[in-house]
C-alpha cells in the first residue's frame, strides 16, 4: 500500500540520502541564541520533551538510543553500498538557515508542481488537477492508515522523500525539503522567515 500509492505520484525511484541529525541541531544551539529552546523549557522534564515531538510520550533517552542505533545502521548500509556514499548525503535544514536564494528556489519548485498536470487517473481522482494535488490526494486517501499507527514514521519519511524526488526530477529543484523548527520561533512565530510575509516566505498571518 505504501510503495504502491506513492509510486503513483512519483513515477520512479532513485537512490538519494537525505537526513538531518539532532547533533546538528545541538551544535546550532551552541552558536545561535535564536536556535535555543523557549525560556520556559529550562526545567529537566520539559527539556527532555523537546525530543518528543512525534508523540509527546516518548522519553528523550529512548529517542537518543534509537538515534544511536539508526546512525550505526546507516553507516553500515553506506559502507556496504557501491552507489551511495556519505558525500552524497543531502542534509535537510531549517528554513531560517537557508539563504533567500535557496528559499526562492524551493518556492519556485512548489509553484512548478502547481502548474504541472496531475499524473493520477482522472476517473479515480477527479479533484487532482496538478502534481501538488497528487500528493494531497494520496495523503487524504490514506489518512486512517498512516496516522496513529505503526506506519506513521516510515510512511511520512518516504512521502517527504518522494516529494523531494519529484521536485528534483520534474521541476529542477536541487535542494532538500526544508523544515520549520517550532521551538526556535515559539515566542514569536511570525518573526520566522517562513511566515514573515516576505516574498521568500510561505505567507503571513492572513491579515491584509
pLDDT tens digits for range 25-83 = 445 545 554 444 444 444 434 344 444 444 455 567 888 888 899 889 988 988 999 88
User: What is each CA distance from 196 to 35, 152, 179, in whole angstroms?
Assistant: 17, 30, 15
Write phi, then psi, for 76 (nearest 5 degrees): -65, -40
Instruction: Give me the domains of the chain, ranges plus CATH numbers.
Output: 2-191 (1.10.1280.10)
Mean confidence (pLDDT) of the chain: 79
Q: Cα–Cα distance between 208 and 187 in angstroms, integer?
A: 23
Average pLDDT of adjacent 10-residue blocks, the chain of 208 residues:
47 38 48 46 41 53 86 90 86 96 98 98 96 97 93 95 97 96 92 92 80
- Structure confidence at residue 61 (pLDDT): 84
Amino acid at each position: 500500500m505504501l510503495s504502491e500509492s506513492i509510486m503513483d505520484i512519483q513515477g520512479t525511484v532513485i537512490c538519494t540520502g537525505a537526513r538531518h541529525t539532532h547533533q546538528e541541531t545541538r551544535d546550532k544551539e551552541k552558536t545561535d541564541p535564536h536556535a535555543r529552546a523557549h525560556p520556559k523549557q529550562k526545567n529537566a522534564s520539559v527539556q527532555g520533551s523537546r525530543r518528543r515531538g512525534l508523540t509527546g510520550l516518548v522519553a528523550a533517552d529512548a529517542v537518543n538510543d534509537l538515534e544511536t542505533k539508526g546512525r550505526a545502521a546507516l553507516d553500515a548500509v553506506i559502507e556496504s553500498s557501491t552507489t551511495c556514499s556519505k558525500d552524497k548525503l543531502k542534509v535537510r535544514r531549517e528554513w531560517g538557515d537557508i539563504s533567500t536564494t535557496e528559499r526562492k528556489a524551493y518556492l519556485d519548485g512548489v509553484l512548478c508542481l502547481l502548474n504541472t498536470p496531475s499524473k493520477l487517473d482522472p476517473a479515480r481522482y477527479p479533484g487532482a488537477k496538478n502534481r501538488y494535488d497528487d500528493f494531497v490526494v494520496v495523503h487524504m486517501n490514506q489518512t486512517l492508515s498512516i496516522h496513529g499507527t505503526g506506519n506513521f514514521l516510515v510512511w511520512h519519511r518516504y512521502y517527504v522523500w518522494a516529494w523531494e524526488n519529484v521536485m528534483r526530477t520534474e521541476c529542477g529543484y536541487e535542494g532538500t525539503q526544508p523544515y520549520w523548527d517550532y521551538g526556535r520561533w515559539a515566542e514569536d512565530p511570525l518573526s520566522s522567515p517562513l511566515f514573515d510575509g516576505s516574498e521568500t516566505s510561505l505567507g503571513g498571518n492572513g491579515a491584509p
